[in-house]
Amino acid sequence: MSIKISDHLFDGVPCTIYQKEDSKTKPLIYFFHGFTGNKDANIMGRGEVLAELGFCVVAIDAYLHGQRMSILERHRSNIDKYQDIIEIVIHTAQDAKRLFDKYFKYMPNIQPEVYYAYGVSMGSLTAFYLATIDEALKAMVGLVCTPSFVEYYRDKASLYGFNTGFFYERKLAWYQPIDPMNQLDKLKHKRIFMGIGIHDDVVNPKYAKNLHELLPETILKSYETGHVSTPEMLEDSYRFLKLEVFHD
């Protein structure tokens, strides 16, 4: 069966929707891309595969990314933009929550009660944060992932040299109470699959391992790779979703 791909703009948020052209009501799954990426270039075939599994896949451009990038943002260096990575995550998760609540759950082809998320790198953090703010998110996949706001931001700030000053301190203080790592009671009822590269030097696997230690019911799989979604990782993530969502 062919997959229909369509572009939309909801509340100024560009979305690409992938779904099988049949009359079935489908569970929605968000696809969240990584830092400096966009919804189209970074999905790399996963939209079609997830649609083939039976999902209505909604890939959205993260805040300040893709078609949501203003001229001002285009002129910022990646390191400068990195200072706002957690705000990008928070804003995008809030968009996803609102769009489901305002539009998607009222679409006749979409199951209205629950939805799912699939995030890669920064997109995984979006999925983790979304899981803490929306009860309707039932299960998620995070690849080359991090569930941490504070520790992750602190590490990146040290690496890139923006780890001092008023704004840095205020950001850290703001992240502390809403960090998914400090919201375990909100995560413990979700089904979570994490895939990590043991040689990942972009997103250190320690953040996912820390979460798994605190919530052993999460699934953590390590792969002999770096900051890359390997075919094996993808297959495992699809198998997880098939089992969790379609009981297959």
Partner 1 sequence: MIEIVVRKFHIDGIPISIYEQIDGTLKPVIFSFHGFDGYKDGDYFKREDELARRGFIVIGIDTILHGERRIPVFDSKPYDEKMKDIHHCVIQTAMDAIQLYEKYIRFMPRVMKDAVYAIGVSMGGAISIYMATIYPLIKAVSIVGSPSMIEFYQLKQEKYQWSKDFYYERNLAYLDRFDPFEHAHQLKCPLFLTAGMMDQVIPCSLVSKFIHPKVTFKLYDTGHMPNQAQFDDAYAFLLSKEDV
Would you tell me which residues interact with partner 1 (CB under 8 A)? 9-12, 14, 63-64, 67-73, 84, 87-88, 91, 102-103, 106-107, 166-167, 170-171, 174
- Compute the least distance from the CB of residue 80 to partner 1, in Å: 10
> What b-and-e string marks burial along 89-115, b requiring 16 or more CB atoms within 10 Å of the CB?
bbbbbbbbbebbeeebbeeeebbeebb
- Compute the least distance from the CB of residue 24 to partner 1, in Å: 19
- Compute the least distance from the CB of residue 133 to partner 1, in Å: 13
Torsion of CA 215, 216, 218, 222, to 10 degrees: 120
- Compute the least distance from the CB of residue 61 to partner 1, in Å: 9
Under 8 Å between Cβ of 18 and 8: no
Q: Which of 88, 86, 111 has its CA nearest to residue 100?
A: 111
If the CB atoms of residues 154 and 168 are measured against partner 1, the closer one turns out to be 168
- Compute the least distance from the CB of residue 222 to partner 1, in Å: 34
Instruction: Give every CB contact of residue 238 below 8 A, 6+ residues apart in sequence.
Output: 49, 50, 53
If the CB atoms of residues 70 and 77 are measured against partner 1, the closer one turns out to be 70
If the CB atoms of residues 60 and 140 are measured against partner 1, the closer one turns out to be 60
If the CB atoms of residues 24 and 102 are measured against partner 1, the closer one turns out to be 102
If the CB atoms of residues 53 and 90 are measured against partner 1, the closer one turns out to be 90
